[in-house]
Amino acid sequence: MKRVLITGAAGFLGSHLCDKFISEGMHVIGMDNLLTGSLTNIEHLFPNEHFEFYHHDVSKFVHVPGHIDYILHFASPASPIDYLKMPIQTLKVGSLGTHNLLGLARVKKARILVASTSEVYGDPLVHPQKEDYWGNVNPIGPRGVYDEAKRFQEAITMAYHNFHGLETRIVRIFNTYGPRMRVEDGRALPAFFSQAIKDEEITVFGDGSQTRSFCYVDDLIDGIYRLLLSDYHLPVNIGNPQEITIKDFAEEVIRLVGKGRIGYRPLPKDDPKQRQPDITLAREILGWEPKISRSEGISKTYDYFKKVVI
């Protein structure tokens, strides 16, 4: 049986990855320090004999007994509200944590996939964003701790691939949503849903004309799985290229929930004006593209938030 280590296992994406690899007949070792993750996301897996959990911070030395076939590094604060509160931890998990896991992969002769992000493109001057675009990032701005941690993560991963011949994969994840997002996550969709459900003012920053491209979590997990099993070692964008303004997205949520009103706030520093993936490479290399429409996806996500918003 294949054994896979998933860091950030108790988080939004990590928990869905645990489900995916269990369903594919693999033994999953989940690892998380629970800084932003929650055991409620994976408690349904605890009775499963093919799942085990390590409460550990990957910024410290990582040891896992036995063979490992795959490592997926998804540990990191991932929303502005988190990495602005925890800047040092964010930098450490992207640098020291990635170094530790690359070393583990080398010892175990495992293939490793690291979770990068569309934030490596910063506030892009190219639209849509292709993998060969180097980005427009402010390294000392408030978002720099996350953006540069991920850019370093890509650099050290490529160094291990080129110098040690390690089997590596890099996924650049664009905005993703779905069940198990934290209510207090700080990102647009959970904020909009929780505010609308409570009949509060829905916070839109700037005039709402900035764009995002939202991918449903099941589609994203499928893309990540395909990338891991592919022979391609350079970065690949995984996201939904259907672009929408934040204002229009807020209005979609208001129509679905049946209540809410928009309130405008000043735009945060270095907030990207556009975000849309070019997924030509994912189509060509992986045969992947998103299948779940935004209307279907936000309906499923609303069903989840109705249960967890108090």
- State yes or no: is 232 an active-site residue: no
DSSP lists the bridge partners of residue 243 as: 213
Are residues 121 and 87 in contact, defined by beta-carbon separation less than 8 angstroms? no
3-state secondary structure of 4: strand
State the angle between helix axes of 217-228 and 12-23 in degrees (0 to 180), rounded to the nearest 10. 60
Q: How far apart are CA 70 and CA 108, in angstroms?
A: 9
Q: How far apart are CA 13 and CA 181, in angstroms?
A: 9
Q: How far apart are CA 63 and CA 57, in angstroms?
A: 11
Closest alpha carbon to 220 in 236, 243, 234:
236
Are residues 173 and 239 in contact, defined by beta-carbon separation less than 8 angstroms? yes
Q: How far apart are CA 42 and CA 37, in angstroms?
A: 10
Q: How far apart are CA 7 and CA 30, in angstroms?
A: 6
Active-site option among 70, 83, 146, 216: 146
Q: How far apart are CA 149 and CA 93, in angstroms?
A: 8
Closest alpha carbon to 45 in 20, 82, 62:
20
Encoded tokens for 69? 């076939």
Active site residues: 146
